[in-house]
Structures are given as C-alpha cells and as structure tokens.
Amino acid sequence: MTETFAPDFERIAWRILHTVAGVKPGWNVTIRARPDAQPLVDALAVESYKSGAPAAPVVWSDDFLCRCIAEVPLEYLKAGLPHLGDLLRASDLVIQLDLFPADPARVSALPRERVAARREGMAKLRDIVLDGSRRWIATEFPTPGQARTFGLDFKTFSGLFWRAIDIDYDALKRTCDEVQSILAGGHRVHITSSKGTDLWLDYTGRPVFKDDGVIDDEDFTTGKPFCNLPAGEVCLAPVEEATRGRAVFDRAFWDGRWMRDVEVEFGPGGVVRPVRAAEGLEEFLAVIDNAPGASRLLGELGIGLNPAVDRDIGFVLVDEKYAGTVHLALGENIHLGGKNKSPLHWDILILKPTVVVGKTAIIRDGELQVGAR
C-alpha cells in the first residue's frame, strides 16, 4: 500500500533547530544541501536567522558533483575544499542535507577510483565537523531518484523518511538510555542470527554513545555533539583487533549497487575477509579495496531503535535506525573513540539478530527486549 505523508517544512525546520540542536542567538550556522532541498533550506535558514543565528547555505547540484568527479584531476579531488573547511570551523552548528546524491545511479556509473578520490577529499571536511567542538546534524532530503535506486515508490520512500523524523523524542531517549546503560555495564557483546552470524565483539575501555535525536550538554561531555536524522541508535567502536567470528550481512548498498547475504569472517588482527555472497561479492570487495586506510577493520557496532522504522529499504541513513536490527560499519571510527583512519565508514545491516551482553538480551531474533515494545 502506498503511504502518504506531506511534510510541513516550517515545522520540521523548527524541530531541527530548537528540539534537536537547541539553537541560540549568536551562533554561526552553515547548511550544506542540494538544490532540490531548497524548501527545507529556506525554512531552516530563515528560522535560524530569526533566532539570532545567521545561517549560510552552501548548495551544490548533482551536475556539479558528477562533473567534478569526472573532470577534476585526482590530486585536486583528494585535496578537498580547504576554504569550506574554514567556514565549518567558524560554525557553531552544521546542518548537512546532502549525504547522498539526488540520483545515486549517476554517481554509480562514474569510475570508482575517481569517486574514491573525491570521498577522500571530502573526508577532510567530515573530520572537521566531527572534532567535537560544534554541533552537527546529518540528514537528507528524499528525492524520486533515490526512491528509484531503492526500488520504491517515491511517496512510500518519502513518507517513511519523514515519519521517522517526526517521532516522540522523549520516548526514544528513554529507550536509548536503557540500551546505553546495558552496554556500559559490560565489555563484550555476542551477536548471532539464523543466517549464520556468530560474532564476538570486545569493547573494553570504549565509550558507548547514543543518537536520541537531541544534542545536549551530555553529548558535548562525551565528545559527540552529533545527530543523524532520522535518529535512534546506540553505538560504539569495538576494539578493532579483538573482533572474532562470522557476520552475514543481509543487505549492503553502495553507490547504487546492491549486495545480499554477504558472509565475512574476522580473523587475526580483526581483519575482515569476505567469503561468499548471494549477490554482489565482487562489488563488496571493490568497496573495501578502493578505500585507503583501515577499510578492512570493524569500526562500529550500532543498534537500531527508531520505532517508526519497521523495514529495511537500502537507504542506510534510515536502515541503521530500524528497530531490532544491528549494523556493523567497516572503516573510520575515530569519532567514536576508536583508532581506524579511513575515508570509508560503511554501515551494513544484519536483520533479526540476537544481541546479548553478559546475561542480558537487548534483541532476540529481531525483537527489542527493552523500551516500549
């Protein structure tokens, strides 16, 4: 059945700025976006300015993105955009609405080496916004091109996305607090699934973070004043070399390409070794082989907790919040207190897992055992 949901951008902008970010007079705000997000960009910029926090939108199109990747010399792509870095350093709040292209299929058709070079350059900007000294909200603006990529009707895709943002954040915080408390009370987590996942992660000495949709003083204390929208996960950086076992990823998606039932093993040093896949093994290998740095080490464990996300669609920003799932990320995890350095941070989903810390089950066969169930 086709879902309908007409977003009220003025209301969404107000909630992002006041409920999520807690905007204050005197702040400098930067908004990164594509032209198709202009209705939300305008609402955010005006509301921010009305609140005494002048906003500077930085907008670029898919045409610009694709031409840069195709035409700019690799050395310049890898160098990034230093002057934009200066703007981000001067910002108290950065709102990013362009995590993905409007039409991912266009980028997937470009040479991987060139796409990876641009990603390496843009990672320099990511390091600035994730240094813990400013608020960062990362979200999207759903497009028909994205919906086509995931094989969805646009109304269904857009409806799921905006519903997952327009939730009860007080209830989400309670669930996140409970899961965070369970993880903080242990040091090892065991993840299994009916497809063959049997994975032990040690996170001794690593902090446990929550993304509950509100950036507050506690987030600054932990060095993570960041938020994804949709929100709803608890995450940590496992001890990289201590990861052992097997994971079967139900679905992975990268630059318009699908991979399904990808089985990997974590061996000596925690290095991942892809074994087999029902679909897309070569694509999976290409992603990690074309990323420099620690792309073959586990960077993150995340537990999805958003009650409005009840299916996986291939859109990682939504899928990783799917209540009752876990996602594992390969690559970068410095921002989570780990030591992996890489332009790659790739979240990959495991459906219907069982997640146990000590004797406490957080998830059992895909069903949350905590919070409002």
Q: Is the model's pLDDT at 5 over the cut of 60? A: no
Q: Is the model's pLDDT at 231 over the cut of 60? A: yes
Q: Per-residue pLDDT averaged across 17-39, rounded?
A: 96
pLDDT in tens, 354-371: 999 999 999 999 999 987
From CA 140, how far away is CA 162, in angstroms rounded? 10
Concatenating the DSSP letter of every residue in 170-194 gives HHHHHHHHHHHHHHHT-SEEEEE-T
Q: Is the model's pLDDT at 4 over the cut of 80? A: no
Q: Per-residue pLDDT averaged across 6-10, rounded?
A: 85
CA distances from 353 to 69, 193, 220, 228, 366 (A): 38, 5, 31, 23, 5
- Say whether pTM exceeds 0.75: yes
Residue 319 host element (H or E):
helix 316-319
> What pLDDT is recorded for position 314?
84
pLDDT in tens, 300-330: 999 999 999 999 988 889 999 999 999 999 9
Q: Is the model's pLDDT at 137 over the cut of 60? A: yes
The confidence band for 21, taking pLDDT boundaries of 50, 70 and 90, is: very high
From CA 115, how far away is CA 290, in angstroms rounded? 9
> What pLDDT is recorded for position 224?
84
From CA 154, how far away is CA 319, in angstroms rounded? 17
pLDDT in tens, 338-353: 999 998 899 999 999 9
> What pLDDT is recorded for position 2?
42
Domains and CATH numbers, the chain: 9-165 (3.40.1830.10), 169-368 (no CATH)
**Cβ atoms of 203 and 339 closer than 8 Å:** no
> What pLDDT is recorded for position 1?
37
User: Cα angle vertex 232, ends 202, 351, to 5°?
Assistant: 65
Q: Is the model's pLDDT at 113 over the cut of 70? A: yes
> What pLDDT is recorded for position 3?
47
> What pLDDT is recorded for position 141?
96
- Using the structure block, give the residue that is written with the tokens 């954040």: 169
CA distances from 25 to 51, 54, 65, 263, 354 (A): 6, 9, 33, 50, 46
Q: Per-residue pLDDT averaged across 7-33, rounded?
A: 95
Q: Is the model's pLDDT at 373 over the cut of 70? A: no
> What pLDDT is recorded for position 328?
96
